[in-house]
Structure 1
Amino acid sequence: MHVAETLVRNLRRAHCQFDLVEHEHSATSLESARKAGISPARMAKSVILDDRRGHYLMAVLPANRQLDLDKVHKGASRWQLSGEQSLATLFKDCERGAVPALGELYGLEMLIDPQLARQQDIYLEAGDHESLVHMKVEEFFKLAPNAEVRELCQ
């Protein structure tokens, strides 16, 4: 198990209560939820976007939903899905494809779908493909105090 050091350090610094949930290797957040035996509606999936000018944004939504880019666009910014190389640079302590849904810890602005914000507790990737962080939603928002809650799904 390789939990991202940035995540661990910030969980401790904020005195967050959380559990680590181990599961069989998975390639996607939806598959992680299935293998861990949890509802995909409680699994936070992160989607990294960029504006082609070096600015990044993390959209966080339930693993069983799809991002609607039209709902993300705000002001003059036009967001697109970021490439794999950008993700490796932004999330150096994470395995590729296992980014924790806490972009503020990595200097990214965050948008969170209200379906996740209404859950009592949520799960998110821990930086590898075999473990999840489980916490109350209130604990999650301690680590994302500036996140904007907004409809993001189709």
Structure 2
Amino acid sequence: MRMAATLQRSLARAHTRFDVVPHPHSATSLESARVANIPAERLAKTVILDDRQGHFLMAVVPASRHLDVGKVRKDARLWQLTHEADLARLFKDCELGAVPAVGEPYGMNMVVDPQLTRQKDIYLEAGDHENLVHMRMDDYLKLVPDAEVCELCH
């Protein structure tokens, strides 16, 4: 699989500069960072949450950290991890577990941990388990202009 079509369209629309970093197949974001030889604190790990009432939220944290679901306070909802079956439906152009850190094109709000936004550049899943998209942080923030930056890690 190549880059997810939804991500590709978003990158083109935002006129962002990026490069694609191929790497050996990996199953987790931490493993992707290791096999791509990049700092895990610069790789965006995407965690999809829902309120079990049809609302979804994309939480983005550094691959080196863990999401603290209790810190997610968006829209006064009770958020929990989304079931895998829903992920396949929501991200049809992505392999399971390789969701790009861009929520708006997939119709969902985003929250991003500031530990990630303080980095000079960022890597995100391209939609498969063998490629990452690399760009400057200011370009990423143009790509996700409505993302809310808030503490998400423990």
TM-score class normalised by the smaller sequence: over 0.9
Percent identity, aligned pairs only, is 65
Q: What root-mean-square deviation, in Å, do the aligned CA atoms of Structure 1 and Structure 2 show?
A: 0.9
Q: Aligned partner of 2:31: which letter?
A: E
Q: 1:65 — aligned with what?
A: 65
Distance of aligned partners of 1:55 and 1:34 in 2 relative to their CA distance in 1, 3 Å threshold: same
Q: 1:138 — aligned with what?
A: 138
Q: Report if aligned partners of 1:113, 1:149 keep a CA contact under 8 Å in 2.
A: yes
Deviates more, 1:56-65 or 1:67-76: 67-76
- 1:123 aligned counterpart, secondary structure: strand
* 1:103 equivalenced with 2:103 (yes/no): yes
Q: 2:34 — aligned with what?
A: 34
Q: 1:122 — aligned with what?
A: 122
State the 1:76 CA deviation.
3.2
Q: Report if aligned partners of 1:22, 1:36 keep a CA contact under 8 Å in 2.
A: yes
> What is the alpha-carbon distance in structure 2 between the residues aligned to residue 76 and residue 136 of structure 1?
32
- 1:98 aligned counterpart, secondary structure: coil
Q: Report if aligned partners of 1:44, 1:62 keep a CA contact under 8 Å in 2.
A: yes
> What is the alpha-carbon distance in structure 2 between the residues aligned to residue 7 and residue 83 of structure 1?
22
> What is the alpha-carbon distance in structure 2 between the residues aligned to residue 111 and residue 13 of structure 1?
21
- 1:116 aligned counterpart, secondary structure: helix
Q: Aligned partner of 1:67: which letter?
A: L
Per-residue displacement from partner, 1:73-116 (whole Å, max 9, x unpaired)? 34530000001111111101001110001111211100000000
> What is the alpha-carbon distance in structure 2 between the residues aligned to residue 126 and residue 103 of structure 1?
13
Q: Report if aligned partners of 1:43, 1:62 keep a CA contact under 8 Å in 2.
A: yes
Question: If the length of structure 1 is used for normalisation, what is the TM-score?
Answer: 0.97
Q: Report if aligned partners of 1:104, 1:143 keep a CA contact under 8 Å in 2.
A: no
Q: 1:5 — aligned with what?
A: 5
> What is the alpha-carbon distance in structure 2 between the residues aligned to residue 110 and residue 103 of structure 1?
6
Question: If the length of structure 2 is used for normalisation, what is the TM-score?
Answer: 0.97
- 1:110 aligned counterpart, secondary structure: strand
> What is the alpha-carbon distance in structure 2 between the residues aligned to residue 84 and residue 75 of structure 1?
23
Q: 1:51 — aligned with what?
A: 51
Q: 2:151 — aligned with what?
A: 151
Q: Report if aligned partners of 1:105, 1:143 keep a CA contact under 8 Å in 2.
A: no
Unaligned stretches of 5+ residues in structure 1: none
Q: 1:82 — aligned with what?
A: 82
Count of paired positions = 154
> What is the alpha-carbon distance in structure 2 between the residues aligned to residue 36 and residue 122 of structure 1?
13
> What is the alpha-carbon distance in structure 1 between the residues aligned to residue 61 and residue 30 of structure 2?
11
Unaligned stretches of 5+ residues in structure 2: none
> What is the alpha-carbon distance in structure 1 between the residues aligned to residue 75 and residue 121 of structure 2?
32
